[in-house]
């Protein structure tokens, strides 16, 4: 293997995906392996931390070995081992962190600690790294909804975040209300295609004229009341609803979330005079959100450039971890072997 390239092994275990990837020079994906635990959590309607942790322990070494095999690299070809150590479920993160520390020590390779949210943002830079500044970034995932000003992959300033539910969490909870399978986001998107987004006028919480924070719990409650009645004493109407009615609710809910996400991103972009908008995180896989964000950027004066994560790198993966780690490697930002996981970002 050519010696000039920087090959980094990335490891990701922050929630319910066990993932490993080898990326060269931050851009060239040599392998990406993701073991999803969706089947294990499906019957609970959400991620059960203990089950996630145990599944990570079972999968971590097979997943890392497969990533290295597929990339055709051995330990000597690697320049560093990177791991997402925050934010996430501590008992899930600790599995990846322990594996990364062990390999780093055994192989004598530097260890790089990665913030999972910042890595989501990095996946928006995979298709094109030219970041015309100023730039704002919206990260929408199952656990977080954050707006940043991004001056470089390593220089992010938080502009706003959710004060209650994350956007993906709202998708998942509304899917549960509508009795759709977990994970909710892709299933809501699928049935919303058959629905009318104007059928129900669900609330859009903008939290005041200047706020860049988000709130989705009121919207989730509005869907619940719509299905169960204001006093929650009426019968659950979902079982007796037609497929069309459920599709209309899903489409109307999705439209409300997207409306808020796009308007807040525009607000942030206007405020900083952004020339580029970055979009990443699991909810960024949603085609309607991608289109709405594109339209908002095109209508900007002057038009803004939208850089959005490729769909397969929107949900959790280790390519984004290894890709961001390249920038830390170049900057000499290494972690000690005492690295710990942290639930908060």
By CB under 6 A, tell whether 85 contacts ligand KG4.
no
Q: Exactly one of 315, 320, 322, 341 binds ligand KG4 (CB under 6 A); which one?
A: 315
Q: What is the 3-state secondary structure (H, E, C) of 193-228?
A: CCCCCCCCCCCCCCCCCCCCCECCHHHHHHHHHHHH
Minimum gap (Å) between residue 210 Cβ and ligand KG4: 27
Q: 191 phi and psi, to 5 degrees?
A: -80, -20
Binding ligand KG4 (rule: CB under 6 A), the pick from 153, 160, 183, 341 is: 183
Q: Is 142 in the site for ligand KG4 (CB under 6 A)?
A: yes
Task: Please say whether the beta carbons of 296 and 156 come within 8 A.
Answer: no
Q: How far apart are CA 142 and CA 145, in angstroms?
A: 8
For ligand KG4, which stretch binds (CB under 6 A), given 2-10, 30-38, 222-230, 276-284? 276-284
- Integer Cα distance of 338 and 101 in angstroms: 8
Under rule CB under 5 A, residue 17 binds Zn ion: no
Nearer to Zn ion among residue 213 and residue 316 (C-beta): 316
Contact positions with ligand KG4 (CB under 6 A) in 45-64: none
* Phi-psi category of residue 45: left, alpha or beta, with phi > 0 → left and psi -120 to 50 → alpha: left
> Quick check: 171 binds ligand KG4 (CB under 6 A)?
yes
Q: What tokens appear for 99 in the block?
A: 């594996």
Q: Which is nearer to Zn ion, 19 or 246 (CB)?
A: 19
Binds ligand KG4 (CB under 6 A): choice among 281, 306, 328, 335: 281
The verdict on 141 binding Zn ion (CB under 5 A) reads yes
| Inter-residue contact 252 to 111 (CB < 8 Å) | no
If binding is defined by CB under 6 A, does position 214 make contact with ligand KG4? Answer: no
Report yes or no: 264 and 205 within 8 Å, Cβ to Cβ: no
Helix (H, G, I), strand (E, B) or coil at 112: strand
Q: Looking at 10, 96, 143, 153, which residue binds ligand KG4 (CB under 6 A)? A: 143
With CB under 6 A as the rule, give the number of residues binding ligand KG4: 20
Looking at residues 315 to 344 of the shown chain, list those that interact with Zn ion (rule: CB under 5 A): 316
Shortest Å distance, C-beta 302 to ligand KG4: 30
Pairing of strands 80-86, 276-280: unpaired
Rounded distance, CA 298 to CA 312, Å? Answer: 24
Q: Which positions lie near ligand KG4, rule CB under 6 A? A: 15, 141-143, 168-169, 171-172, 183-186, 189, 281-283, 285-286, 315-316
Q: Which positions lie near Zn ion, rule CB under 5 A? A: 141, 316
């Amino acid at each position: 293997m050519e010696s000039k390239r920087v090959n980094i092994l990335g490891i990701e275990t922050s929630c319910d995906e066990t993932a490993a990837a080898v990326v060269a020079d931050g851009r060239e994906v040599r392998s990406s392996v993701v073991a999803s635990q969706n089947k294990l959590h499906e019957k609970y309607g959400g991620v059960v931390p203990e089950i996630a942790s145990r599944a990570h322990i079972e999968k971590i070494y097979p997943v890392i070995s497969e990533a290295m095999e597929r990339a055709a690299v051995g330990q000597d070809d690697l320049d560093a081992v990177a791991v997402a150590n925050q934010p996430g479920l501590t008992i899930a993160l600790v599995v990846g962190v322990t594996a990364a520390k062990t390999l780093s020590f055994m192989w004598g390779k530097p260890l790089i600690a990665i913030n999972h949210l910042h890595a989501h943002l990095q996946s928006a830079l995979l298709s094109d790294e030219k970041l015309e500044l100023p730039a704002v970034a919206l990260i929408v995932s199952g656990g977080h909804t954050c707006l940043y000003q991004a001056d470089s992959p390593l220089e992010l300033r938080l502009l706003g975040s959710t004060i209650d539910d994350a956007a993906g969490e709202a998708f998942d909870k509304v899917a549960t209300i509508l009795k759709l399978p977990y994970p909710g986001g892709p299933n809501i998107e699928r049935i919303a295609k058959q629905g009318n987004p104007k059928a129900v006028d669900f609330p859009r919480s903008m939290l005041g004229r200047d706020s860049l924070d988000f709130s989705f719990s009121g919207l989730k409650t509005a869907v619940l009341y719509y299905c169960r009645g204001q006093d929650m004493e009426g019968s659950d109407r979902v079982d007796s609803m037609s497929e069309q009615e459920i599709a209309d609710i899903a489409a109307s809910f999705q439209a409300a979330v997207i409306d808020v996400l796009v308007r807040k991103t525009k607000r942030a972009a206007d405020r900083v005079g952004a020339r580029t908008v970055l979009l990443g995180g699991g909810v960024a896989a949603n085609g309607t959100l991608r289109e709405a964000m594109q339209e908002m950027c095109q209508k900007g004066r002057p038009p803004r450039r939208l850089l959005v994560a490729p769909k397969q790198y929107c949900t959790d993966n280790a390519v984004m971890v290894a890709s961001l780690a390249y920038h830390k490697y170049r900057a000499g930002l290494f972690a000690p072997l005492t690295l710990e996981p942290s639930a908060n970002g």
